[in-house]
Amino acid sequence: MPAYKNPKKTRQYSNEFKSKAVKLSHLKGASVKGVAESLGIHPFMLSRWR
């Protein structure tokens, strides 16, 4: 296998961050997409945490 010069790094988020993100996404009038964009994460990731 070829050696990668710049392997992708996977961000790991704390349980506290995930919990806060999920709580924000459940607020009235909040959307998963909007919350995810404000936190700088992909909406699919937030959906999985929910």
pLDDT of residue 4: 64
Using one digit for the tens of pLDDT, what is the confidence trace for 1-40? 556 676 777 789 999 999 999 999 999 999 999 999 999 9
Q: Where are the domains of the chain?
A: 15-49
pLDDT of residue 9: 75
| 18 membership: H or E segment, kind and range | helix 15-25
At position 24, the amino acid (one-letter code) is L
Question: pTM of the prediction?
Answer: 0.76
pLDDT of residue 2: 59
pLDDT of residue 11: 84
Reduce the DSSP state of residue 4 to 3 states and report it: coil
Question: Which of 41, 46, 44, 42 minimizes the C-alpha distance to 19?
Answer: 46
State how far the Cα of 31 lies from the Cα of 22, in Å rounded to an integer: 11
CA-CA distances (angstroms) from residue 13 to 5, 20, 37, 45?
Answer: 25, 11, 15, 11
